[in-house]
Structure 1
Amino acid sequence: MGSQDRRLRLRAQIVLHAARGRSNARIAQETGLHLDTVRTWRGRFAEQGLPGLADRKRTGRPHAFAALQAAQVKALACHLPAETGVPLARWSCPELAREAMERGIATFVAASTVRRWLAEDALKPWQQRSWIFITDPDFRAKAERVLDLYARTWQGVPLDEDEYVISADEKTSIQARCRCHPTLPPGRARAMRVNHTYGRGGALAYLAAYDVHQAKVFSRTEPRTGIDPFMNLVTQVMSREPYASAKRVFWIVDNGSSHRGQKAADRLTAAFPHAVMVHTPVHASWLNQVEVYFSVVQRKVVQPNDFADLAQVGDRLRAFEDRYNATAQPFQWKFTTSDLDDLLARLDRHTADHQEDSCVALAA
């Protein structure tokens, strides 16, 4: 039953109750309608009969936009403002409405109307998302090696029990910001309050090595990053069991300056012959699981950054490492080589579409 049919049915019930001599209050009670509603429709029927139960013609402005106009505005939203000669970084609904009127798409269109049109297609040109083209020619081969290690496989052969996978990196420039007024704890209907102004107490680098399958973290703080600080971390891990007597220990690292390229791999092997350095592809640090741990540290330790000095920063990081290692479980890493192939296929299609659009634009 449609809404119009339901409305007519309720009005008919009011009339039938009234024909039985019931009061407006009783009719409202039995039908669940407001007393004013009962009074209105009872009076309309008394004055006009059955035609009085119909809806009156509404005086609102008729629909003023054609489907083509909405499509033209959506098409405009799908172009960067700079491509149309507009000196904006991105569109807002008011700016799109203004541009549509200047182009003659509509004599007048409100920003709220534009917002409704874009919402129909989930377009949000005022938002942005950062991404990067793949530039590493060996991206798939390098990524596959990392993903295979996460699945405890190396060059098609399962890892032995005495072989380990370490994910390592540096979190640079963790500052000690001493707030000018004490941080206030949350209270009733009030979030934690952190003073905006602060004094600078210096910065340090936090280096961490994460055992992927054992869910154990080994870390240290250094005044800065570099080859020596990174090798200090390696020595800290490789000089303890079970890594000291392991068959092989794989070190997954990104392409940062302290462990970049074949020289870094040779330096690691020279210091520890059973250590193997495995690089992620260029611009693919997201494949390094220690980055997940760093995101946990950022949320749970660093933010909102209210430390008296660097000593307090170091103490907090070490205490958190002990707390984390006491209960940690391996990350549920679900990105596999099959997902990698799907990702690369999507990027290839996106690149091809982008190149085709660029060619069309140049031809035009």
Structure 2
Amino acid sequence: MNVRYRIELSQAEREELTAMLGSGKCAARKLKRAQILLAADGGRRDEEIARTVSVSLSTAYRTKRRFVEGNLERALSEEPRPGAERKLMGKEEALLVATACAKPPAGRKRWTLTLLANAMVKLTDHDSLSGETGRRRLAENDLKPWRRDMWCIPHVDGEYIARLEDVLDLYAERPDPARPLVCFDETPVQLIGEVRQPVSAKPGQRERYDYEYRRNGTVNLFVISDPHRGWRNLKATERRAAVDYAQCMRELVDIHYPEAACIRVVQDNLSIHTAGALYQAFAPAEARRILRRLEFHCTPNHASWLNMVECEISVLQRQCLGRRADDPKKLRNEIAAWQRQRNKAQDRIKWMFTTDKARAKLRRAYPAVVKPLGRRRHRATSNKSQGRCHPRRSSLDRRASHGTPPPRHSPSVSFANSAKPPAPFLKSTGCVAT
């Protein structure tokens, strides 16, 4: 810093710097450089400027040098910084991504940034790598190996689509008292007792309960929901067997809907959800009498979320089953009180997933319909000698005159993953018991 730079600002430059300091809307570093230039223009020495502006002596010197060698804009702005050399480029970055997507090492359930950095040190020529370097390279590839989602991963095919649209069409229909729609499912509930009595809440203190509990077995809940009229019914049983399922179906026919001609039941594919369960519980004549008034519609495999009653069970767990109940009788009383309140309010489920939305979201799973070739139009030719018009004979007419049947013109359907159309595409779906 032996070279001394003399600062001489023009009137326009002084006004620009003064206005910049008065507004206070620029970055702090830029404002300090403006103060340095104004102080240097007044004839102050570098030591005095550094002490007044609260910067180092080298900062004041560099600001004056950039102004003299360049201009005002260069003095106020920062010079580009090259930074350190980028690590993990090209093949090394691809190796990091491949390692993060592979299985974690033995004894670890997932990859961490430290594990990935250590693995890359072994696989590359780098002496050391920080976890932040790995995080930045993974973030550029939209990858976070320490996170994962749990979601249903079904095999979507023609059978899946057919059952899905069958259930969605039922939800879209208008309510019909003669053919009501009900959703059926079950859920287990644990009977949990207190080892130590909880302490009630009071001002300034929340309710307290002990983490230790006593398990007194389980109870099964059969849940029936009518989404159209906001009605639900819950039945607690000791087990979940075919006989218990058959009893629920008989109560549905004889008690809950005695006047209905046909009850359409939406349910999942549990092993007891079959028409044969009624023959295991009742005489053949009684089983057939019940089945004549039932129409089963099954959700696709691994897609019980299509059943509206799942929403009802979720509300039940949040509102009612959050407290501990150690006795089946106590649990039945709690459930009955919740059921009365919900039925009185006629709370309904707002179902928004429709067939159109399903076709938009699952469009890759739908078959592609190939349009047929268009028919040739028959052009009429006039017979001037006879004064009348008659259609020209087409190739189809000529084939018919020679005894060759004309080809059918019907749309052909191609399936991406199967050689022939699946059965659900040719006939209606739904497990219908008559």
- TM-score range (shorter-chain normalised) is 0.7 to 0.9
> 2:54: which partner in 1?
40
> 1:25: which partner in 2?
none
> 2:38: which partner in 1?
16
The answer to whether the aligner puts 1:138 opposite 2:153 as a matched pair is no
> C-alpha displacement at 1:275, in angstroms?
2.1
> 2:231: which partner in 1?
216
> C-alpha displacement at 1:269, in angstroms?
5.5
1:102-121, aligned counterparts within 5 Å?
A: 102-104=122-124, 106-121=126-141
Q: 1:135 to 1:37 in 2, by over 3 A?
A: farther
TM-score by length of 2: 0.62
The answer to whether the aligner puts 1:62 opposite 2:62 as a matched pair is no
Q: 1:135 to 1:347 in 2, by over 3 A?
A: closer
Which deviations, in whole Å up to 9, do the C-alpha atoms of 1:213-240 show, x marking residues without a partner? 1121111111111222223323333334
**Aligned-partner SS, 1:291:** helix
Higher helix share: 1
Q: 1:287 aligns with which of 286, 293, 306?
A: 306
**Aligned-partner SS, 1:65:** coil
Q: 1:116 to 1:276 in 2, by over 3 A?
A: same
1:197-236, aligned counterparts within 5 Å?
A: 197-236=212-251
Letter in 2 for 1:227: A
Q: Is the 8 A contact 2:253 2:293 kept in 1?
A: no
The answer to whether the aligner puts 1:254 opposite 2:268 as a matched pair is yes
Q: 1:123 aligns with which of 130, 133, 143?
A: 143
1:206-355, aligned counterparts within 5 Å?
A: 206-240=221-255, 243-260=257-274, 262-264=275-277, 270-271=289-290, 273-303=292-322, 305-346=323-364
**Aligned-partner SS, 1:62:** coil
**Aligned-partner SS, 1:119:** helix
Letter in 2 for 1:318: A
Q: Is the 8 A contact 2:152 2:302 kept in 1?
A: no
> C-alpha displacement at 1:310, in angstroms?
2.3
- Larger gyration radius, structure 1 or structure 2: 2
What is the RMSD of the two structures over their aligned residues, measured on CA atoms?
4.2
Letter in 1 for 2:97: K
Matched length? 325
**Aligned-partner SS, 1:258:** coil
The answer to whether the aligner puts 1:79 opposite 2:102 as a matched pair is yes
Counterpart CA distance in 2 for 1:58 and 1:143 is 59
Q: Is the 8 A contact 2:221 2:234 kept in 1?
A: yes
Counterpart CA distance in 2 for 1:7 and 1:301 is 60
**Aligned-partner SS, 2:145:** coil
Runs of 5+ in structure 2 lacking a partner?
A: 1-19, 44-49, 67-74, 280-285, 367-415, 417-434
**Aligned-partner SS, 1:148:** helix
Which deviations, in whole Å up to 9, do the C-alpha atoms of 1:172-202 show, x marking residues without a partner? 2x11111322345677897764422111122
Letter in 1 for 2:225: Y
Q: 1:38 to 1:181 in 2, by over 3 A?
A: farther
Q: Is the 8 A contact 2:215 2:326 kept in 1?
A: no
TM-score by length of 1: 0.73
Which deviations, in whole Å up to 9, do the C-alpha atoms of 1:1-38 show, x marking residues without a partner? 9x9976334431465379789xxxxxxxxxxxxxx995
Q: 1:88 to 1:343 in 2, by over 3 A?
A: farther
Counterpart CA distance in 2 for 1:186 and 1:122 is 46
Q: 1:282 to 1:48 in 2, by over 3 A?
A: closer
Q: Is the 8 A contact 2:37 2:63 kept in 1?
A: no
Which deviations, in whole Å up to 9, do the C-alpha atoms of 1:23-54 show, x marking residues without a partner? xxxxxxxxxxxxx9953149778777724977
Counterpart CA distance in 1 for 2:62 and 2:153 is 70
Q: 1:90 to 1:186 in 2, by over 3 A?
A: farther
Q: 1:108 to 1:342 in 2, by over 3 A?
A: farther
Q: Is the 8 A contact 1:176 1:310 kept in 2?
A: yes
1:187-198, aligned counterparts within 5 Å?
A: 193-198=208-213
**Aligned-partner SS, 2:180:** strand
> C-alpha displacement at 1:57, in angstroms?
9.4
Counterpart CA distance in 2 for 1:188 and 1:66 is 57
The answer to whether the aligner puts 1:162 opposite 2:184 as a matched pair is no
Counterpart CA distance in 2 for 1:141 and 1:233 is 27
Runs of 5+ in structure 1 lacking a partner?
A: 22-35, 153-157, 353-364
Q: 1:166 to 1:70 in 2, by over 3 A?
A: same
